[in-house]
Structure 1
């Protein structure tokens, strides 16, 4: 039976915040995350246990986590890590349900993002999966540069499928295809996402798409038609990966995803009043760029 039928909406404030030029104070992060926790998302990608030198904006993740009010939320928390030590730190918290690790099929980007080779990073995936199994966490592997890369590194659908199969073989049950620098074409998204879903029915296949306003519908529609039902987004479409070293192309706008899914007759379970409140707070958190 396929693991890809039920809808999972993932809100990614961590992705929106991590590259923000001004430091966002802890109290603002906590207020914003608490508002998002009431919206009804499946998961909140809230922070990361990585080197503060690499991502200064995420240096306060522990402090933020300990201040969150999780009492009335059905959303799970996901933290991103870049190595085994980060996974151990994140797994120590009972309040974190999922641990995310970026595994790139581009050698250049893997070195940029986690300072390691692809082969070494695959060993890290196995180690983190063991930690997750011992601590009762779900491991989410992001296939970074999943649709190609700007560095001239080898890429093919067969290469992506091969790595996905190896990752699934160590017990990982959620893999998200990441359009890290926004270069994926709709046909490519539909083909590769559909191929993964068909090849790995026991694995939940998601997409973490970056898009501009003019191509976001075509990209989202392609993933949906391929059978994908796990979508990452960020309110206002803010974000992108600062480790890519390229001009950022923002995340898929969460409200756009919700509107699209509802137009397809999908019940999202989103609380619109809480979403509106979170939207208002986002204007303060990401001020003055968003007016």
Structure 2
């Protein structure tokens, strides 16, 4: 697909086919995406960017993107940001992963509340106030805003001087993450362990109840800032281990170590399993846009609750 064939899908997206095509080509090469990804861009992501652009208001809009680990939500956020920026919109991308507490903060949390909080991921391991502050600044600040960055390779937040910067205010904030807009569970749903991790390391349910309590209170303040939600629906939870394994290899490809082995990765993903399954069950009903993903991480169907 030549760059010139990437063109507008409606009057909302400005006709900048060649420039847009070149930017998308560069990103697809950078992310080592297959040539077939152009079909996903043409059939699903250009129309989705058009849908987002059509909702432009005077105020900044926060677009939530939820998807299981390794489902491709960061890639989709990256593609959408390129399309929107090339069409003249000001866009910021924020990942909930970049809001993780520092390694030391999680260590203290594991000692004061529960040992499982040492592992990044679940509600309770993010700096929610930092997320709220960052979004508010992107919406109202006039000038450069620092966007936090977390390095999974060292399992720690990067120093402030290594954060990225974005000129505010922006038109759209693409806020992506595996638990973005996930609703809390009921107390009855917390009783039975979800997997061997919970059965062996959270026998009394202290950890999962603490996670759910934080999700129902502190995190909802952050998620209430979202104006529209996009949900990536996988074919099943069994895909997550495969997808996350591939993600782990990409993360550590330029580093001296190989990251987590298979058993470590399975244990790691079990921290996420409960709320990932919960999201898969409930978010299709709550999302404004549903993107169905197949086993190869390809978008195969787009459903718009309010039309395009």
TM-score range relative to shorter protein: 0.3 to 0.5
Please, what TM-score do these two structures have when normalized by structure 2? 0.33
Please, what TM-score do these two structures have when normalized by structure 1? 0.34
